[in-house]
Amino acid sequence: MTARSGGGQVGRREVLLTGAGLVALSACGLPVDDVVTPGLDVDAPPEEVQPIVPEGPRPGMTADEVVRGFLRAGAATGAGLSVARSFLTDDASRAWRPDERQTLVQGSGDLTLRRDGDGYRLEAPVAARIDPSGRFSLSPADEDATVIVGVESEGGEPRISALPDDFGRLLPPHLVAAMYQPYAVHYTATGSNRLVPDLRWIPADQQATRLIRAQLAEVPEYLRGAVRTDERAELTVDAVPVVDGVAQVDLKAGLSSDTTTRTVFAAQVVETLMQLPQVTQVVLTVTGTTLDIPGVDPPLRSAAQLGFVSTEPGGAQSAVVRDGQRVVPVPERELAFLSQDDLSERGTPFAEVPKAWSALAVTEDGKEVAGVRTSGTELVRWRDDGSSIPVPQFADALTKAAYDSSGVLWIGGRDLVSGEGQLWAINTAVPPDDPAARPALVPVSWLGRDPVRAVAISPERARVAVVAGTSKKAAIYVSGVVRAPNGLPEGTSTGALPVGGSLVRVRDVAWISATALAVLGQRESDAELRPFVVEVGGQVSSLLPVADARWVMTTGGERDLLVVRGEKSAMTRTGASWRPLPFEGAVFVPGA
C-alpha cells in the first residue's frame, strides 16, 4: 500500500547510509512490552536525566574498536560530544553535526562491522528514526540500516575520516530516554481557539531553545491548512535563555502587528515552553520591548490566559448501550456500575435499531446515533425524537462512522465510481431533506487507492486518523482537517503522518488524548489482534489482548479504555488487565 507524506510516497523504503545519503534496507519494530501499565503523561515533567560520560580513544585501539567507541560516545549532546569527536579526524569532526542529522534507534539483533575497502560497513537492525526536526518514526518490521564509514590513520592511530551525510547517531533503545524527551510543539486549529500538539523528541540540553526553533519552523505538511501560526516570527538571537524559571523569547520586528495573530502565536509559545519543568513563566518581547497583547497582563504562564484551550476526549454526558434492538443512553460515569436490571428498566428516546446495524456512533450531546449495516452499504441516523434518517447510498464498504465535536458525521468507504477509498462528511445541523445534509466528499490527496478501514477525528477537530489497507495489511495515517469558514470540512492537508509503523494489521482506531491513539492491531509476532497505545509521532505500547475484540474507545484517556466484544459485552481497563462491564451489550461513546 502507498500513501503520500511530505510530497513523497509513503511505503517501504530501501536506503543505504553512505556519504551520498541515507537508505533503509529493511527495519525491525521498536520492542514493546506485552504488558504496559499507565505511565507519565506526555506533558509531565521528565525524570532527571543522568549525564552519560563515554570513554574516549585509547592508544593501540583497532579500527573496529574506534568505530564502536565512536558509536557509544555519540549518545551525548552539546559539550558532551567532544569525546565522540576525538574518534574522528579533524576534517570529519568539523563535518559531523549530529543534531542536524538523523538518529537511528537500534532494534533487536546484533550490530555487525566488517571491512569494506578502505573503510568499514556497519549493519544494524533499526527500530526507529528521529529526524533533525525531532520527528520520531517507527520503522516497519525487519528493517536494517547500512552505514559506510571511512577510516584512516592520524598520528599513528586509526580515526574515522568519513561519515554519511545523513548520519547523526546510532542509539540502543535504552539510551533514547537518556538522550531525548518527548514534548509537543503547539499550533492553533484554524477558525478556533483550540491548540493542536505536534510531538517532537528533543535532546536533553538547551531544550527551551530547541523547542522554540521547532515552533518557528515551517508547519509540518501533515498539518498545513488545518492550523495557523505567525510564519514571519523569528528569534532576534538564536537562543531562549531560562533564568530563575523565566523563559525569555525575544523576536525580530517582523512579527505580525495583527492582534489576533499575535495572540495566537503567544498562546502557542507559552503552551510549548511551559511543558519544561524549569520554566515557570514566559516573557515575550519584540526587539527588547514587551509584546503588547490587549487585555492580557504579563507574566504569561498558560495559554488559557490568552483564551486558548487544550482539548482531551472523554467527559461527554452520554454514551449509548445496546440492549437487543434498543439503544439506551447512559452517562459515561455510570457505565462501570450499570447492572443488567438497571439497563433493562431504563427508557430510550431512540427508535429500535436492528441488529444488522452493529457498528454505532453517538454525538457528544447524545441526541443522535448513526449506524452502518454489516453489509457496509447502508448508513442510517437515529434522532432522540424517535425519527430515523436513512442516508441514500453514496458508497460501499463503509467503515464505522464517527461524529466530531461539532456534530459532523465522518465515514470512510469505497467510491462507487472510481473504486478508491475516500472520506465523506455529513452536516447533521441542517434538516435531513436539505441538500446540505447529503454526504460531502472530503478530498484525501495522499490516500491513493487504498481501502479505508477506520476513521477517527481528534478532540480539537483539526486532525483525522485513517486506517487504510486490507484486512491483512493496513497502516495508520494522521492528517490535518482543512475546514471552510463555516467550520465544515472541505479537505485534508496535502501530507499524512504515518504512525504505529510496527503494526501490520489494524482493525479500529480512536483518539484517547491529543497526542495518542488507541488501536486494535497486530504486529508480525502477534497471534491475534490486541489493543495498543500509539503516540502520534512517538512509540507504540501493547496491552493485554481481549478475545473477539471489535472496537476500541475511551471515556477519558489511556486509563479509561473500553474494548467492545461484538454485541454482547465490553471490557474496561483495570491497571494492566481488563474486566467486563457488569451488563450485556455493546457500548459506544462520543468521539469513537
314 within domain boundaries: no
Please compute the mean of the pLDDT values over residues 87-107 and round it to a whole number.
Answer: 92
Structure-block grid coordinates of residue 389: 434518517
With cell 474496561, the residue in question is: 572
User: Which residues span the domain enclosing 332?
Assistant: 319-588
Per-residue confidence band for 314, with pLDDT thresholds at 50, 70 and 90: low
**pLDDT averaged over every residue in the chain:** 87
Which segment of 141-155, 236-250, 397-411, 485-499 scores lowest on mean pLDDT? Answer: 141-155
Query: Domain check: are 119 and 249 in the same one?
Result: no
With cell 543522568, the residue in question is: 50
Domain boundary among 281, 306, 331: 306
pLDDT at residue 16 is higher than 80: no
Give the pLDDT score at 339: 94
Please compute the mean of the pLDDT values over residues 512-540 and round it to a whole number.
Answer: 93
- Strand pairing category for 530-535 and 540-542: antiparallel
Cβ(250)–Cβ(236) under 8 Å?
yes
Which pTM value belongs to this model?
0.87
Per-residue b/e over 520-539, b at no fewer than 16 CB within 10 Å? Answer: bbbbeebeebbbbbbbbbbb
Please compute the mean of the pLDDT values over residues 410-414 and round it to a whole number.
Answer: 97
| DSSP tag of 28 | P
Q: How far apart are CA 397 and CA 453, in angstroms?
A: 8
User: What CATH number should be reported for the domain holding residue 544?
Assistant: 2.120.10.30
pLDDT at residue 224 is higher than 90: yes
Give the pLDDT score at 322: 93
Q: How far apart are CA 468 and CA 451, in angstroms?
A: 6
Per-residue confidence band for 139, with pLDDT thresholds at 50, 70 and 90: confident
| DSSP tag of 306 | G
Query: Domain check: are 272 and 397 in the same one?
Result: no
Query: Domain check: are 404 and 351 in the same one?
Result: yes
562 Cβ neighbours under 8 A, 6+ residues apart: 335, 552, 553, 554, 555, 570, 571, 572, 573, 581, 587, 589
pLDDT at residue 312 is higher than 80: no
Give the pLDDT score at 515: 94
7 within domain boundaries: yes
Per-residue confidence band for 591, with pLDDT thresholds at 50, 70 and 90: confident
Query: Domain check: are 433 and 559 in the same one?
Result: yes
278 within domain boundaries: yes
Amino acid at 178: A
Give the pLDDT score at 53: 64
pLDDT at residue 2 is higher than 80: no
Query: Domain check: are 476 and 556 in the same one?
Result: yes
Give the pLDDT score at 3: 31
Structure-block grid coordinates of residue 233: 516570527
Domain count across the chain: 3
| DSSP tag of 196 | E
470 within domain boundaries: yes
293 within domain boundaries: yes
Please compute the mean of the pLDDT values over residues 88-110 and round it to a whole number.
Answer: 91
Query: Domain check: are 369 and 478 in the same one?
Result: yes
**Chain centroid offset of residue 6 CA:** 16
Query: Domain check: are 395 and 534 in the same one?
Result: yes
Domain boundary among 154, 171, 188: 171
Query: Domain check: are 341 and 215 in the same one?
Result: no
Query: Domain check: are 298 and 261 in the same one?
Result: yes
Give the pLDDT score at 502: 85
Reference 214, options 133, 130, 136, 272; nearest CA is 133
pLDDT at residue 34 is higher than 60: no
Q: How far apart are CA 293 and CA 306, in angstroms?
A: 9
Please compute the mean of the pLDDT values over residues 449-454 and round it to a whole number.
Answer: 92
Structure-block grid coordinates of residue 6: 511530505
DSSP 127-184: EEEE-TT--EEEPPTTBEEEEEEEEEEETTEEEEEE--TTEEEEE-HHHHHHHEEEEE
Q: How far apart are CA 80 and CA 383, in angstroms?
A: 63
**Chain centroid offset of residue 86 CA:** 37
pLDDT at residue 21 is higher than 60: no
Please compute the mean of the pLDDT values over residues 561-582 and round it to a whole number.
Answer: 91
Give the pLDDT score at 35: 31
Query: Domain check: are 420 and 531 in the same one?
Result: yes
Counts of helices then strands in the chain (DSSP H, E): 7, 41
Please compute the mean of the pLDDT values over residues 358-372 and round it to a whole number.
Answer: 94
Please compute the mean of the pLDDT values over residues 435-450 and round it to a whole number.
Answer: 93
Domain boundary among 306, 339, 371: 306
Higher-confidence position of 108 and 300? 300
Give the pLDDT score at 448: 83
Cβ(187)–Cβ(228) under 8 Å?
yes
Query: Domain check: are 420 and 356 in the same one?
Result: yes
pLDDT digits (tens, 9 = 90+) for 65-81: 999 999 999 888 888 89
311 within domain boundaries: no
SS3 451: coil
312 within domain boundaries: no
pLDDT at residue 22 is higher than 60: no
Cβ(540)–Cβ(502) under 8 Å?
yes
Per-residue b/e over 281-312, b at no fewer than 16 CB within 10 Å? Answer: bbebebeeeebebeeeeeebeebebbebebbb
Give the pLDDT score at 310: 73
- Strand pairing category for 319-323 and 587-588: antiparallel
399 within domain boundaries: yes
Give the pLDDT score at 579: 94
Query: Domain check: are 323 and 471 in the same one?
Result: yes
- Residues of the chain with pLDDT > 70, as a percent, come to 90
Spell out the long-range contacts of 574-582 with Cβ–Cβ below 8 A and sequence spacing 24 or more. Answer: 575/37, 575/38, 576/35, 576/36, 576/37, 576/543, 576/544, 577/544, 578/544, 578/546, 581/335, 581/336, 581/338, 582/336, 582/337, 582/338, 582/339, 582/340
